[in-house]
Amino acid sequence: MASVHAPFPLLAVLREFLPEPLEPDGNDVYFEWMKMPDSSGFGDYEESGCGIAALYNGQKCNYSVMMYLDDEPPTTGGREIWGFPKKYGLPRLKTIHDTLTGTLHYDDERVALGTMVYKQKPLDPVKTVEGMKKLNVNLKFIPDVDGGPKVAQLVGYHLQDIELKFAFTGEARLHLVPHANCRLADLPVRKILYGTHLCADLTLPYGRVLHDYLG
């Protein structure tokens, strides 16, 4: 997995992307590419997307804003079970000589390009694993047969059984292209804080309902 972290200056805009009762935790927005070559039940696929550092009742969490995958089973399963905001796209993460490179195409057009110096500086493995255990939050919305809401929940989960292989940080860059149906550039890049590159085995468990909007 590779991710790029960038500060976003307009907290009012971040709040538009965060469902209540979530609040921005500073102005950190992250963009990531993930390569899953051996996922139980889902097989070999890649995904990319962005999220916002947030607070849930004072607890730090990561909120998923948009995600794009190249495989239907994890796209559908992710949406219907955990509420991941997943759509079909063509993400790719690969190493080209001395550069870790992530690309994302949507409807045959490239909408994102991320690059990072390859394995520039090792990260503390203990702190990295602790960061991976942070609360993750999705907005799960499923409409009823009449078009009204059937399920409207804030879903939380924690990654489990994390076995970290390596973790690095380093110089990174990110370029986003505005697109009407792939709106990643609605959170535009202002400044790059850092990039991270890690490899790990882990388990995605079932989630729990943090907030039921229909309850």
DSSP 186: G
CB 128 within 8 A of CB 159: no
pLDDT attached to residue 188: 86
Domain residue ranges of the chain, discontinuous segments joined by +: 2-212
Query: Coil, strand or helix: which one is 4?
Result: strand
Instruction: Give the pLDDT of the chain (215 residues) as one tens digit per residue.
Output: 766 665 555 678 899 999 999 999 988 899 999 999 999 999 999 999 999 999 999 999 999 999 999 999 999 999 999 999 999 999 999 999 999 999 999 999 999 999 999 999 999 999 999 999 999 999 999 999 999 999 999 999 999 999 999 999 999 999 999 999 999 999 988 899 999 999 999 999 999 999 999 98
For domain 2-212, give the CATH number: 2.40.400.10
> How far is it, in rounded angstroms, from Cα 67 to Cα 170?
24
Spatial neighbors of 126 by CB under 8 A, at least 6 apart, are: none
- SS3 (DSSP) at 199: strand
Could you tell me where the DSSP H helices lie in 29-152? 72-77, 125-132
pTM (2 d.p.): 0.93
Tokens linked to 45? 């696929």
* Residues forming the active site: 86
What is the rounded distance in angstroms from the CA atom of residue 64 to the CA atom of residue 157? 12
pLDDT of 99: 98
Beta-strand relationship, 208-212 and 23-39: unpaired
